[in-house]
Structure 1
Amino acid sequence: MISRVLAFIAVLSLCVQGAAAQSVLRDAETEAMFREASAPIFKAAGFNPDAIDLVLLNDGSINAFVAGGQAIYIHSGLIGAADSVNELQGVIAHELGHITGGHIIRFDEGLKPATGITVLSLLLGGLAAAAGSADAAMGVFMAGQQAAMGKFLAFSRAQESSADAAGADFLSKAGISGRGSIEFFKKLQNQEYRYGYSASSNPDAEFYRTHPMTSDRLSTLQDSYSRDPAWNTPPPASLQARFLRVKAKLYGYLADPQDTLRAYPEYLTDVPARYARAYAFHKEAFVDKALAETKSLIASDPENPYFLELEGQILLESGRPADALGPLRRATALTGNSPLIATTFGHALIATEDKDNFAEAEKVLRASVVRDRENPFTWYQLGVVYEAKGDIPRARLASAEQQLMNMQLGNAVRSAEAAEAALPKGTPDWLRAQDIAMSARAMMERQRKSR
């Protein structure tokens, strides 16, 4: 009995920390769309829009969650399931409700009472067993475990209802319709029906849920949203168009090319269809077809930096880095040196193997890490530049940055120590090398203790 209860608690902990097991997807266009869609909601809640991160995870399930700190994690499957940016905004508002409610911080409030019930059931069960009644002891154990689960799940459902209410308030203050939120809940409800999780088919279903029944949430929110002045306000057409582009782009990048071509057949000539097919053809190494789709996209909007980025990416990854420089340089300029696009541009400059391009690559990559230090590939490319110019200490420091982010902790310590030994004492780079070595050692010690 003890092991089963502990396993139950461990599973709950894994739910909170789920982001660690999934890969993060980074894309400049997607992140820009996320920021535009969420900014009014964050402002309505009293947050600086730049203070909360929206992180896209490569996971096909329809889900989003918070896991401590000011970050909202969104599964790629959720983007695929949503039909409008308004649905995405509804999800973001709900997850923001968890952050403002401090629900992850208050996780122990729900766990401690559940643990207390479990411990009490073990004590009572032990007394029953000592009195010679094994069946009674087993009954007490089982009842105690069920009570503990019910206590925790009731706490979780209360938090979800609180986040629903907060999300509705944020959308209203932002002047954003809750219609998308209702539509998304209906999709979740259809999934429940499909898998037999409805209350009518299973009277005990609600007891075993972390979330209230979707039908109950719909009833509560429908009334609130439909009376809001923004109920009939559609999202801006330009934002909806950007959402559909991102959705198609993500599908083309993640799905099997044949599935993409079935979902976006060649007779469709709109922007999302061409976007998805460009990725599908590129993955199949049909370079001419991929470039033809991209050229059509650029012709429809010559100043769109993300279309230019795609053209540069296809050329670079097809072994034509010199041809990629033009579109990537333009895309970098149009986005005000977006770190992700600038990194691709820096990569293309290095890939030309022309030493005359390395000075520009260093400038571009250094500017990129100033704005986004959390991209290990940028540090790798910067290390290549430093090594090519003979600056071995900074090449080692760049390697240490990359290794720390990739959790290669032993290598990070060695690279940082080598950089520290060769860098001028007291300089920012020398201090950073010390910080990396100390951080990596601390992580290694925590890992050792956890084992």
Structure 2
Amino acid sequence: MPVSALRSLLARTLCILALVLLSVRPAAAQSILRDAETEALLDEMAAPLIRAAGLEPGNVDLVLINDGSVNAFVAGGQAVYIHSGLIAEADNALEVQGVIAHELGHITGGHVIGFGDGAKAAGNISILSLILGVAAAAAGGGEAAMGVIAAGQQAAMGKFLAFTRGQESAADLAGAKYLAGADLSGRGSLDFFRKLQNLEHRSGYYADSSDTFYRTHPLSRDRIETLRTVYERDDAWDKPADPDIERRFQRMKAKLYGYLAPPEQVLIAYPEYVDTVPARYARAYSRHRQALFDKSVAEADALLADAPDDPYFLELKGQILLEAGQAEAALDPLRRAVSLTGNQPLIATLFGHALLATEDAAHHAEAERVLRAAVAVDRLNPQAWYQLGRIYAERGDLPRARLASAETKMMTGDPMSALQNAQAAEAALPTGTPDWLRAQDIALQARDAIERKRKRD
């Protein structure tokens, strides 16, 4: 067997194994979308399902990923990642709740941990086939060597994909159990699987045996047939959706669409003549992105005319004013939004930004108080730490400015800068104080991140 051919087969096998390993870290290169209203609603939608799964709602995170594909996944720990494309595709809240229930099935089933076992078993077959193939090549059997290695690759892939299909089926049944425990109808889940089935057909996936062999998930047709029987037996099958959750979901969906979709598509989905709350919400964000100040303010004012104490409409108005350079005018709506939400950290961060943007030092004390309260609740908020760092730097408190910068750099994926800032802060802060201890913690985290990156590279 020629050396070049053997190398080619080795490369193919290693590529397959690399793809398997990469698939357990799907969130690494994707950006997270953070929005106070969206996070509050997703948490509320998931809470009964999380309790039905035997978990604590406060210990499970719902994370929105800026990705237009229709997908959701878990990637270790107790976190469910939902693509923005899935929200856009869903017609109602029950469909998303069906997806969340399925992903909770992966968490309670320990599937991310078990994923490594499946990959290892497949890898063992593939590695064994390589060893046998090399032995055959050394004995002069080039054709036999290629056959052994190719068969080993096929067996490894088949074993691994069968393993993942088994996990998906188990998560489907667990999700059905959690929907029943939360007293939520499975109609939304079935409707969403029908959407997936339509996507499969558009992508050329059909129920023939060769196609099924290479799939990581069972066919949606088969999943629908299995789950329909389970759902229809449940007492909640004919229960209507919660009207308040549904109303808020349509608002959230429109808001995200206005923020993410091309403006011309937003106007097709939510034309000018439609004056519903979701339509105005979508157009307000879309026009703000286009820097159409008067039109975006008009939409925000129309929303506030009907609901003057809605904190998220106030947040929208404040954001439009702030980003149009009218920081002073943004203070009142943002201050009210912070008060109405009990100092919600994302809105408080925006308010702190507005206070600093006025360039009036008289606002610094209020900004510091608001921002410190925000990071006390949500430490993983790089924008809040950045604004705090600005306050510390402007008043000459460089050690705490460096500490805030270390927090920011660690969260934005720059461990080397985080380490440098943490070390500088630790050297200048009073020994034994909470800030000094935090600087040490960040330095340890940064060193660990640098070492892990070095090993990966």
- Match of 2:418, SS state, is helix
- Match of 2:256, SS state, is helix
Equivalences for residues 289-300 of structure 1 within 5 A: 289-300=295-306
Equivalences for residues 438-449 of structure 1 within 5 A: 438-449=444-455
| Count of residue correspondences | 449
Quick check: 1:28 aligned with 2:75? no
**Range moving further from structure 2, 421-430 or 382-391:** 382-391
The Cα of 1:126 is off from its aligned counterpart by: 2.7
Quick check: 1:283 aligned with 2:259? no
What corresponds to 1:428 in structure 2? 434
CA deviations over 1:362-414 (Å, ceiling 9, x no partner): 00000000000001111000011111222111111101110111122222112
Q: Which whole-Å CA distance do the structure 1 matches of 2:168 and 2:91 have between them?
A: 23
Q: Which whole-Å CA distance do the structure 1 matches of 2:439 and 2:132 have between them?
A: 56
Q: Which whole-Å CA distance do the structure 2 matches of 1:128 and 1:426 have between them?
A: 66
Q: Which one-letter code corresponds to 1:74 in the other structure?
A: I
CA deviations over 1:273-309 (Å, ceiling 9, x no partner): 0000001111111111101101111112122110110
2:422, 2:440 within 8 Å by CA — same for their partners in 1? yes
What corresponds to 1:84 in structure 2? 92
What corresponds to 2:258 in structure 1? 252
Quick check: 1:370 aligned with 2:382? no
5+ residue gaps, structure 1, are none
- Match of 2:431, SS state, is coil
What corresponds to 1:197 in structure 2? 205
- Give the structure-2-normalised TM-score: 0.97
What corresponds to 1:60 in structure 2? 68
CA deviations over 1:195-233 (Å, ceiling 9, x no partner): 11011xx43111101111111100000111111110111
**Range moving further from structure 2, 172-181 or 135-144:** 135-144
Q: Which whole-Å CA distance do the structure 1 matches of 2:400 and 2:65 have between them?
A: 32
**Residues 128 and 418 of structure 1: is their aligned pair in 2 closer, same or farther, counting only changes over 3 Å?**
closer
Quick check: 1:310 aligned with 2:316? yes
Quick check: 1:319 aligned with 2:328? no
Q: Which one-letter code corresponds to 1:97 in the other structure?
A: G
Q: Which one-letter code corresponds to 1:54 in the other structure?
A: L
Q: CA RMSD in A?
A: 1.0
- Give the structure-1-normalised TM-score: 0.98
2:88, 2:253 within 8 Å by CA — same for their partners in 1? yes
The Cα of 1:122 is off from its aligned counterpart by: 1.8
CA deviations over 1:92-140 (Å, ceiling 9, x no partner): 0000000000000111221122112112222332333234332222111
What corresponds to 1:361 in structure 2? 367
Quick check: 1:399 aligned with 2:405? yes
Q: Which whole-Å CA distance do the structure 2 matches of 1:109 and 1:447 have between them?
A: 24
2:20, 2:119 within 8 Å by CA — same for their partners in 1? no
Q: Which whole-Å CA distance do the structure 2 matches of 1:124 and 1:432 have between them?
A: 54
Equivalences for residues 95-106 of structure 1 within 5 A: 95-106=103-114
2:293, 2:320 within 8 Å by CA — same for their partners in 1? yes
Identity %: 62
- Match of 1:69, SS state, is coil
What corresponds to 1:10 in structure 2? 18
The Cα of 1:357 is off from its aligned counterpart by: 0.6
Equivalences for residues 26-425 of structure 1 within 5 A: 26-199=34-207, 202-425=208-431
Q: Which whole-Å CA distance do the structure 2 matches of 1:13 and 1:332 have between them?
A: 43
Q: Which one-letter code corresponds to 2:441 in the other structure?
A: D
